[in-house]
Amino acid sequence: MASNQVEKCWSAFESALKEARSGCSEKSVHDLRVRIRRLLALLDLIHTLENSDSIVHLRKRLKKILKQLGPLRDIQVELATVRKLKPTGEIRAFGKFLARKEKAEIGRVVRKLHHAKKAKLRLRKSYGSEVEGAVLSEVRNLILKRYRRFAATRKAFDPASGSSLHAMRIAFKKYRYALESAWEVFQWDPGNRAEKMHAYQKLMGNLRDCQLLEANLRRWLKRRSPATGIALRTILDRLARQQRRWMSSLLNVGTDHSIPQF
């Protein structure tokens, strides 16, 4: 039932929040962001069952936490990638720069998370099967709205624009999580669709992370000597090649992520 699924998602969110408050490790930040997105998607579905002001308020608070975690998540992904590179003097210097940014951002985020008040869900404990049947069309309309938004961003996608990729990626996440929430609430079988959608989202994420790392590295190099830029030319070329490979895959991969029949 929908209410049981909300309780399950809420419990997982609280556990992830507690873990992140203890120090904001890369894994805990990632897990908390995923839990928030899944809970937001589920609350959207529940909102079709119960038009509650408490749900609207809770969504705003969850989205605020999600936004606060964004910059830290980007830094931690970049730092994890840099640590895998050959540890030259220049790479170590850039890694230290990122580590200092991470430390400052962790301090800010941990304070924010500790100040976040716990919200209570004011939802009915159960929903009858007749209610779930009655709102099936509304759930489908919500998913259709998410899909159309993704389709629009896909059509408008500009490979030369990082913001264009970001918009398409966020739209696809919302569509994917809405579908997965519906599958869980209504006990539908997604088949291999869930795996394909996860792979598509991961491809966009890898490309976006690589773009952000290159941009951050170039900004850092502007404050360094020309010799440092020359020393890191190989790394920049490698990042550019990787982006071209991922972009090619993104443009050529099958995009049949249309709404399944249910």
The tens-digit pLDDT sequence of the chain (262 residues) is: 566 777 888 899 999 999 999 999 999 999 999 999 999 998 888 777 777 777 888 889 899 999 999 999 999 999 999 999 988 999 999 999 999 999 999 999 999 998 776 554 444 444 334 345 546 778 888 889 999 999 999 999 999 999 999 999 999 999 999 988 888 877 777 777 888 899 999 999 999 999 999 999 999 999 999 999 999 999 999 999 999 999 999 998 765 666 555 5
By C-alpha distance, which of 51, 105, 118, 113 is closest to 75? Answer: 105
| Both structure tokens of 153 | 């961003």
Query: Is-contact 150 170, C-beta < 8 A?
Result: no
For residue 116, which amino acid is it?
Answer: A
| Both structure tokens of 31 | 């897990």
User: Vertex 11, ends 146 and 45: CA angle to 5°?
Assistant: 25
Q: Cα separation of 205 and 100, whole Å?
A: 24
Structural domain contains residue 259: no
Q: CATH code at 175?
A: 1.40.20.10
Structural domain contains residue 257: no
Position 127 scores a pLDDT of: 39
Query: Is-contact 61 43, C-beta < 8 A?
Result: no
Distances 195 to 38, 142, 158, 176 between C-alpha atoms, Å: 16, 22, 26, 11
Query: Is-contact 247 207, C-beta < 8 A?
Result: yes
Position 37 scores a pLDDT of: 94
User: Vertex 12, ends 199 and 32: CA angle to 5°?
Assistant: 60
Structural domain contains residue 82: yes
What's the distance, CA 126 to chain centroid?
A: 30
Range(s) of the domain holding residue 197: 2-122+129-252
Tokens 């994890």, residue located: 80
Position 126 scores a pLDDT of: 41
Structural domain contains residue 262: no
Q: Cα separation of 15 and 10, whole Å?
A: 9
Domain total for the chain?
1
Structural domain contains residue 260: no
By C-alpha distance, which of 205, 114, 221, 125 is closest to 165? Answer: 205
Structural domain contains residue 109: yes
Structural domain contains residue 54: yes
Position 6 scores a pLDDT of: 76
| Both structure tokens of 239 | 């990042």
User: Vertex 204, ends 201 and 209: CA angle to 5°?
Assistant: 120
Query: Is-contact 164 156, C-beta < 8 A?
Result: yes
Query: Is-contact 41 174, C-beta < 8 A?
Result: yes
pTM of structure: 0.86
Structural domain contains residue 208: yes
Phi, psi of 177 (to 5 degrees): -70, -35
Position 124 scores a pLDDT of: 43
Position 260 scores a pLDDT of: 56
